[in-house]
Structure 1
Amino acid sequence: MSGTSTPGRELLPIATGAQTLAVVRGLLRAHRLLAVSAVTVLVVGTGIGLLTAPLLGRVVDLVVERRGAGSLTLPMVLLVTVAVARGVATAAGRSLVARLGETVLASLREQFIGRALRLPLERVEKAGSGDLTSRVTNDVTLIAKAVRQALPDFSGALVTIALTLVGLTVLDWRFLPAVLLAVPIHVLTVRWYMPRATPVYAEHRVATGGLQHQLLDSVGGVRTVRAFRLNGRHADLLERRSQESVDIALRGIRLVSGFFSRLNLAEFVGLASVLVTGFVLVDNGAVSIGTATAAALYFHSLFNPINAALFLIDDAQSAGASLARLVGVSNLPPEREPDRPGVPVDGSVKVASLSHAYVPGHPVLREVDLEVRSGERVALVGASGAGKTTLAKLIAGVHQPSDGVITLGGVDARELGPVGIRRAVTLISQEVHVFAGPLADDLRLARPQATDEELRAALSRVGALAWVEALPDGPGTVVGEGGHRLTVSQAQQLALARLVLADPPVAILDEATADAGSAGARTLEAAALQALEGRTGLIVAHRLPQAATADRVVVLDQGRVVETGTHEELVAAGGRYAALWAAWSDTRRQPQDANADDAARAAAETLET
């Protein structure tokens, strides 16, 4: 597989042409009967349509021979019959081709989604969210459009071209060389076009993904952009990426214009050759005027199929580039699992000499040692960039550490494998997704076999049962996109209920109450404590009162553990954590300050840095 990269990103792979064809062949073999039926009906319909030109030629001969109006009755009836039969067979053939394309696309889409959902998050983060979402949206849409519109036209055009050449040969083989004079122009046109178009469309797909990635970054982080007055910079980035996409699209349009001007030349050369050949053959008495007319009609009838087939190369190039991007993800090898995965004996967590760097030479964590007893709740505290979230993601298996060892339940994480880690550790961040559909189905993602009573118990445990039962259809209410919109706090409670249902030995909450506001945060903190009951909990603390309720507090600074102990011990020690707590306490003494918590966080981070 080949991949295209841009600075700062490692894009997901793109399949080669051979790999893409191999996947398509495999999918077609799985639907062999439908493929054979579609081709057969299409060939029959096209073959019936080819009778039109000889029948018209016969009409010309009858008129030239002055046979009278009565002699035209049979040819005219046959022409009508041919037209009806051709229309029915062609419609059925195109329908079968479209059904075949949709079936194959559905299989490919299922393979892609199944593989994409199992991609390591580290791999997705390296590529950027825009790369994967553009494949799921833009590329799938483009291929679907090609399957529904271009594939039936392209298939019909190819069959028509092949059978028309056979028909010309049957009329008189000498017409065939005349037609083939246009072929070199067509071949040279395609050879000129394809090498130029393929990289343009592939480049345009990448540029579109980059633009979407930038849009997601700018819109998703709009508060940060405004806070740091980066509006102009992000607007410039969007403009540059948009202009890059437009420039590539214009290059494609210029290629298409040159493509069709060459096709017009081929039509002129081919038709002129057939007319000259017909004139010579009629003059020599080798064929009748009707036969020469039929030959000219045959070639004229090739204009649309040839132009359609060659024009659809444009769509095929674009769809092929998108197809290669889907196959590139579908063909990614699965995550490696150990031959004999270990089984954690409890919920303990231990990291030893743990270091990690996203960019070589710029470590985010440095020689971190941390041991969490089974059932213990530990809060990770520190300024932004201290390494809290990175440590949480390493323990959850999102990233692989650059150095050091992570042990879960007494078993090395490498011996557990990706699936084992996901069973042992559940990570909940502040970015919680509510899936579209009934709320009960959303909950059952964590435990598909959960009963209604188990769902109610999980909701009750995190304090969500009351508002869920107040929904129009209770747990059966459709939520998410297109349904009932949940608040930030409700979405987080839903995530905590899923945690209860999944029942992992270790749970990590990464600033899970950060976006809920002060009142909502207090509700969620209580819900989080209930969800963590009976399991080991690591809390990336956003609010210091949340850290104060933990069994132990671990303070990180510049990728190192600088303090550890209970809340009381660290406050009494008068160190970094005590300074953070003092800053927060001072803000709480300010009367009627609606933004006290936000001010505390800012003050604390200032002290930390």
Structure 2
Amino acid sequence: MSATSRVQDTEPVEPTGSTEPTERPAPRESPGLSTAPATDLLPTATGRRTRAAALELLRPDRSLAVRSGLVLVAATAVGLLTQPLLGRIVDLVTDAAKGTGTVSPSVLTLPVVLLAVVALVQGAATSLGMSMVAKLGESVLARVRERFVERALNLPADRIERAGAGDLTARVTDDVARMSEAVRSALPELARSSLTIVLTLVALAVLDWRFLLAALLAVPVQAWTAQWYVRRAVPLYSRQRVATGAQQQQLLETIGGADTVRAHLLEDEHTERVADRSREAVGLRLRGVRLVLGFYGRLHIGEYIGLVGVLFAGLVLVREDAVSVGTATAAALYFHNLFGPINAALVLLDDAQSATAGLARLVGVTDLPVERETERKAVRGTAEAPDDAFVSVHAVSHSYTTGTPVLHDVDLALREGEHVALVGTSGAGKSTLARILAGVQPPTHGRVRAADRADGRPAAVLVSQELHVFAGTLADDLRLAKPGATDEELRAALATVDALAWAEALPDGLETVVGEGARSLDAAKAQQLALARLVLADPLVAVLDEATAEAGSAGARLLERSARAALDGRTALIVAHRLTQAATADRVVVLEHGRVVESGPHERLKDAGGAYATLWAAWSGERDAAPAHDGG
């Protein structure tokens, strides 16, 4: 099988200048629990960058944005004819009363009919415009989600680990939900309310410029109120999002490590940590409530100042015969009609600020640089590895946190078709080295060289003990590894790993819906499913990171047979949870404290009296002492 080589650059990736990293103090460490992920949350974009990103997201739908804006302008303008028509009715009634003391119904027919027409036209145009704005918002929201998911899936694994799953989960759930709510309801209504405010002020000027001046008495108070609110709301909502992410991360750490927490009697300490994060989040939410209440109190002052000004101007102008009573009535109705749009706009401004804070957190992730494949390519046969090496790492070191390396100058080369077992005590760096060799995790320093496939499919595939069964049919789950696979290919892959019998025994065979909310699979079946995906992906290099560890002793031998069958004929690195896997490998590599201390065949290392011999003796003793039910 022909291959070219890929060299992976190892300079650490730094955030771009468009984002502001958000950090919080590291919590105290607990035995058996990693606290590193909570110390370096993913960045949040600056306000300027967020606005630029919003314009970029709108650009593909410029035409729709213009059309929807024009329709809403027309709908709002038609609606503003209501107040002059009501004023006309007042004038007709006043004139008729002066002449005869009675009002003929025929006098009112035309303005009443026109009011009905205005209502119908405004309703239809508003409905059309709002639907167009909603469509625009959904397009933008879909674009944000696609960019976020694409970038999140391509972030270095250590960057996600430093931030913690809670931070990323909060962004893809809470922040996206806030944006969805804003796009579907708040933003269309905000656009309509803003247009109503602007066009109503224009209509006041058309009636008489002095009405507009009187109405503008409210503007300084309203402008100061809006400035006062926005200046406090944007950082407050950003802090709320960060606090929510920290709260979720702490919950994930505590619940995910519940066994270790209980084993070390740390229940009270972790409960207090969760309480601290929750108190911080609740406190920020209460500050938000107080901010909104203060905002409305100031806003009402401005509204009534403006209303008094318009009524007083109407009184003066009517006395001077500058305007009719109907015109003054229309002006008062115009300004009173502003109460609803202004209140709505500012209520929705609250949602918009919250959505903007969420967008800033999403843009902070989408702006993170991702190492490109083209930047990692180089010519096969570099000096760092033997000429016959199929995959290699050279002088690889890695740290998840500065000053705490987990790997130190590791050199490792796998020849084509070779099976290498990686063993060592817990914390030796086995999983980190496996992920680096598989290309999932870029190293902090050093180089990785692996074979490339001409068809563009993955050259290396990692199967770990962290299993996931995707929601959908079993066939769809398998086709994630090979989208065009036929049913015969799926069955062949399942048969290879001894999983075809139980798969066909499911209620609907390969069409049985599995995953969350559907039929669950136990750990052994889920791992066989992952191994079947490995067979379908047909990588040049397979990396198994303790892939049989979750099965328990009852299924261990079955999974080891499945793993051997899946690895047959390929180059493989096996992080060995059970040393029986090491005994059958072509070569064993021993890691201690992030360094390779031994490398060689099983028998030679077992007899050498070194680190591997110690591990083997301990393993053999535990195995001999275990009950004799460890079967497949």
Q: Does TM, normalized by the shorter one, top 0.5? A: yes
Contact 1:347 1:505 (C-alpha < 8 Å) held by counterparts = no
Cα distance in 2 between the residues matched to 1:370 and 1:459: 32
Contact 2:93 2:103 (C-alpha < 8 Å) held by counterparts = yes
Determine if the alignment matches structure 1 residue 453 to structure 2 residue 488: yes
Determine if the alignment matches structure 1 residue 36 to structure 2 residue 66: yes
Pairwise CA RMSD: 2.4
Determine if the alignment matches structure 1 residue 270 to structure 2 residue 306: yes
Q: 1:367 to 1:102 in 2, by over 3 A?
A: closer
Amino acid at match of 1:287: V
Q: 1:465 to 1:21 in 2, by over 3 A?
A: same
Residue 449 of structure 1 and its aligned partner are, at CA, apart by 2.5
Cα distance in 2 between the residues matched to 1:338 and 1:35: 37
Residue 422 of structure 1 and its aligned partner are, at CA, apart by 8.4
Match of residue 373, structure 1, among 389, 400, 415: 415
Partner of 1:226: 262
Choose 294-303 or 519-528, whichever is displaced more.
519-528
Which structure 2 residues correspond to residues 314-463 of structure 1 after superposition, within 5 A? 314-338=350-374, 341-342=377-378, 348-409=390-451, 423-463=458-498
Contact 1:347 1:536 (C-alpha < 8 Å) held by counterparts = no
Q: 1:301 to 1:392 in 2, by over 3 A?
A: same
Partner of 1:413: none
Residue 238 of structure 1 and its aligned partner are, at CA, apart by 0.9
Partner of 2:47: 17
Partner of 1:606: none
Residue 92 of structure 1 and its aligned partner are, at CA, apart by 2.1
Contact 1:478 1:484 (C-alpha < 8 Å) held by counterparts = yes
Render the CA deviation track for 1:186-215: whole Å, top value 9, x for unaligned: 110011111111100001111111111112
Partner of 1:200: 236
Contact 1:46 1:163 (C-alpha < 8 Å) held by counterparts = yes
Cα distance in 1 between the residues matched to 2:486 and 2:266: 49
Residue 57 of structure 1 and its aligned partner are, at CA, apart by 1.2
Match of residue 3, structure 1, among 9, 18, 21: 21
Contact 1:554 1:564 (C-alpha < 8 Å) held by counterparts = yes
5+ long unaligned stretches in structure 2: 1-17, 27-38, 382-387
Residue 39 of structure 1 and its aligned partner are, at CA, apart by 1.5
Amino acid at match of 1:588: R
Match of residue 102, structure 1, among 138, 159, 169: 138
Amino acid at match of 1:303: F
Residue 27 of structure 1 and its aligned partner are, at CA, apart by 3.0
Choose 339-348 or 46-55, whichever is displaced more.
339-348
Choose 581-590 or 211-220, whichever is displaced more.
581-590
Partner of 1:295: 331
**Share of identical aligned residues, percent?**
60
TM-score (norm 2): 0.88
- SS of residue matched to 1:556: strand
TM-score (norm 1): 0.91
Instruction: Considering Cα pairs closer than 8 Å and 6+ residues apart, tell me whether 1 or 2 has the greater RCO.
Output: 2
Contact 1:355 1:402 (C-alpha < 8 Å) held by counterparts = yes
- SS of residue matched to 2:401: coil
Choose 336-345 or 111-120, whichever is displaced more.
336-345
Choose 386-395 or 570-579, whichever is displaced more.
570-579
Match of residue 278, structure 2, among 234, 242, 245: 242
Partner of 2:553: 518
Determine if the alignment matches structure 1 residue 159 to structure 2 residue 195: yes
Q: 1:44 to 1:459 in 2, by over 3 A?
A: same
Residue 529 of structure 1 and its aligned partner are, at CA, apart by 0.6
Partner of 2:585: 550
Residue 342 of structure 1 and its aligned partner are, at CA, apart by 4.1
5+ long unaligned stretches in structure 1: 410-415, 598-609
Residue 462 of structure 1 and its aligned partner are, at CA, apart by 1.0
Partner of 2:157: 121
Render the CA deviation track for 1:453-481: whole Å, top value 9, x for unaligned: 22221111111111111222222222212
- SS of residue matched to 2:449: strand
Partner of 2:623: 588
Render the CA deviation track for 1:530-573: whole Å, top value 9, x for unaligned: 11111111111111222222222222222222333322223322
Partner of 1:501: 536
Cα distance in 2 between the residues matched to 1:151 and 1:383: 56
Residue 380 of structure 1 and its aligned partner are, at CA, apart by 1.4
Residue 591 of structure 1 and its aligned partner are, at CA, apart by 6.6
Render the CA deviation track for 1:493-527: whole Å, top value 9, x for unaligned: 11111111112221111111111111222211111
Amino acid at match of 2:86: L
Contact 2:472 2:514 (C-alpha < 8 Å) held by counterparts = yes
Partner of 1:572: 607
Cα distance in 2 between the residues matched to 1:533 and 1:436: 29
Cα distance in 2 between the residues matched to 1:420 and 1:555: 34
Cα distance in 2 between the residues matched to 1:160 and 1:42: 9
Match of residue 204, structure 2, among 168, 182, 186: 168
Match of residue 564, structure 2, among 522, 529, 539: 529
Match of residue 62, structure 1, among 53, 68, 92: 92
Contact 1:344 1:424 (C-alpha < 8 Å) held by counterparts = no
Cα distance in 2 between the residues matched to 1:189 and 1:20: 23
Cα distance in 2 between the residues matched to 1:122 and 1:211: 21
Cα distance in 2 between the residues matched to 1:564 and 1:463: 32
Cα distance in 1 between the residues matched to 2:255 and 2:457: 30
Cα distance in 2 between the residues matched to 1:34 and 1:373: 57
